């Protein structure tokens, strides 16, 4: 959530506009934002307002600072401030120059009513918003620490550069490690193209957010593709960068003679076993309707305080147009209320207190063949596009805080 605070007398904290628009991931790192050519400056940026001519391009202001231009977008950041300086800020260009004056500023946006808002702290995403134009500093790393950027010859998560990072390992901000393959694209049974703007780092985080993702491919400066299947491996493709997750277990795959040909045999969840011990049958736990968990509550149906009915799934995940990280530290009922309040939300994914929303289009589902942790549940709508997903045995209500639900007789 955007933190509201006061910066100086000349800045007023603001919040994001209420919108159900699609989220667009921001290119955070300078190594993933192409350096504009010498001809680029002659083609756009000569007018006081660079939009729409410079959309997707770059401008360099009078202070020799370069910005990427995204027309019809607002910046979602941890801190955003309205500029109320005594000096006139009456155009996009003067708004960008106001950003130059603040050493913590990572980007600026110019609104239709002539307001200049600057962003600092950490930039998360760009959000489509007609009329507002966003400008992000080339080289902004998304945080306000004062650590120097890694040199070009060193590979790190914040500095994914090819060919330096080829076959190297990077660990993302969610503590998941990937092996990098330069000039490579992942071959898989299914590939899902995310209709968003991504950095290379954001492409790995998008894979983290999807249980079925077996790797990701970053290409064309903004595009990200997630791989799904039992046989996923990199194949040569100039200009592309592939990321294969390093298994959480140290056990080598049993089904592949090659280290790189496939991820089959790896599992995100592992259960220690003993060859000498005889497995004892485990009783199936009953579904606690006030605190649903998997796998006991597979097929349970709940209706929340906004009278929207969901069906709990423990064995499948949605294939979505986009997945939005909504909140951490939530309970299931709060996650559903977040989904209700977002007009684009179709499915709520609750994972140990983290709430993710499946937005815009539900393309289908993927069956999970892994052991699902108990603090994980996917809430599908009872009906979608006129198709009944579950037959309700009785009506059930999920109050604002506590849960009361009935287990379905059938899906």
Question: How far is CA 191 from each of CA 28, 33, 182, rounded to the nearest angstrom?
Answer: 24, 24, 18
Q: Which residues, 6+ apart, have CB-to-CB distance to 282 below 8 Å? A: none
pLDDT tops 70 at residue 209: yes
Find how far residue 365's CA is from the centre of its chain: 19
pLDDT tops 50 at residue 69: yes
pLDDT tops 70 at residue 406: no
- pLDDT tier for residue 40 given thresholds of 50, 70 and 90: very low
Q: What is the pLDDT of residue 38?
A: 39
The more confident residue out of 206 and 283 is 206
Question: How far is CA 95 from each of CA 109, 114, 187, rounded to the nearest angstrom?
Answer: 7, 10, 45
Token code pair at residue 32: 């993933």
The more confident residue out of 248 and 396 is 248
Q: Which of 321, 314, 391, 319 shows the shortest CA–CA distance to 350? A: 314
pLDDT tops 90 at residue 216: yes
pLDDT tops 90 at residue 75: no
User: What does the pLDDT look like over 346-372, one tens digit per residue?
Assistant: 898 888 778 888 888 777 777 655 555
Backbone angles phi, psi at 169, to 5 degrees: -115, 135
Which of 119-128, 164-173, 214-223, 323-332 shows the lowest per-residue confidence on average (mean pLDDT)? 119-128
The more confident residue out of 95 and 396 is 95
What fold, for 11-137?
Hepatocyte Growth Factor (3.50.4)
Domain ranges, ordered by start, for the chain: 11-137, 169-245, 300-407
Q: Do 11-137 and 300-407 have matching folds?
A: yes
Cα–Cα distance between 265 and 80 in angstroms, integer? 46
Average pLDDT, the chain: 68
Q: Which CATH number fits domain 300-407: 3.50.4.10, 3.40.630.30, 3.90.1150.10, 1.20.1440.230?
A: 3.50.4.10
Backbone angles phi, psi at 224, to 5 degrees: -135, 135
* Residue percentage of the chain with pLDDT more than 70: 63
Tell me the mean pLDDT in the region 188-198. Answer: 74
pLDDT tops 90 at residue 180: yes
Dihedral sign, Cα of residue 343, residue 346, residue 348, residue 354: negative
Q: Which architecture characterizes domain 169-245 according to CATH? A: 3-Layer(bba) Sandwich (3.50)
Question: How far is CA 10 from each of CA 17, 133, 252, rounded to the nearest angstrom?
Answer: 21, 21, 58
Tell me the mean pLDDT in the region 6-12. Answer: 34
Cα–Cα distance between 371 and 99 in angstroms, integer? 49
Q: What is the pLDDT of residue 384?
A: 62
């Amino acid at each position: 959530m955007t933190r509201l605070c006061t910066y100086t007398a000349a800045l007023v904290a603001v919040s994001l506009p209420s919108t159900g628009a699609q989220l667009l991931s921001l290119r955070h790192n300078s190594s993933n934002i192409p350096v504009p050519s010498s001809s680029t400056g002659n083609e756009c940026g000569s007018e006081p307002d660079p939009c729409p001519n410079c959309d997707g391009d770059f401008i360099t202001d009078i202070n020799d600072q370069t910005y990427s231009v995204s027309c019809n977008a607002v910046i979602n950041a941890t801190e955003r401030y309205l500029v109320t300086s005594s000096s006139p800020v009456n155009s996009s260009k003067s708004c960008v120059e106001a950003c130059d004056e603040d050493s913590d500023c990572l980007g600026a946006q110019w609104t239709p009513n002539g307001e200049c808002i600057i962003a600092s702290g950490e930039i998360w995403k760009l959000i489509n918003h007609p009329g507002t134009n966003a400008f992000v500093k080339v080289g902004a790393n998304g945080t306000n620490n004062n650590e120097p950027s890694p040199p070009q010859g060193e590979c790190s998560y914040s500095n994914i550069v090819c060919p330096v990072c080829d076959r190297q390992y990077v660990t993302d901000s969610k503590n998941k490690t990937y092996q990098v393959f330069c000039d490579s694209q992942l071959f898989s049974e299914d590939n899902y193209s995310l209709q968003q703007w991504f950095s290379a780092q954001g492409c790995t985080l998008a894979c983290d957010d999807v249980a079925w993702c077996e790797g990701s491919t970053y290409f064309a400066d903004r595009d990200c593709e997630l791989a799904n299947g039992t046989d996923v491996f990199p194949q040569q493709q100039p200009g592309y960068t592939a990321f294969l997750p390093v298994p959480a277990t140290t056990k080598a795959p049993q089904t592949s003679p090659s280290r790189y040909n496939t991820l089959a045999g790896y599992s995100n969840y592992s259960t220690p076993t003993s060859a000498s011990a005889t497995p004892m049958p485990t009783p199936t736990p009953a579904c606690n309707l006030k605190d649903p968990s998997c796998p006991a509550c597979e097929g349970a149906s709940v209706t929340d305080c906004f009278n929207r009915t969901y069906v709990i799934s423990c064995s499948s995940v949605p294939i979505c147009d986009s997945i939005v990280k909504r909140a951490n530290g939530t309970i299931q009922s709060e996650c559903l209320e977040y989904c209700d309040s977002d007009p684009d939300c179709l499915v709520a994914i609750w994972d140990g207190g983290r709430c993710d929303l499946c937005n815009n289009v539900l393309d289908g589902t993927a069956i999970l063949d892994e052991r699902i942790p108990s603090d994980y549940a996917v809430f599908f709508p009872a009906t979608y596009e006129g198709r009944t997903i579950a037959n309700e045995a009785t009506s059930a209500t999920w109050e604002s805080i506590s849960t009361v639900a009935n287990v379905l007789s059938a899906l």
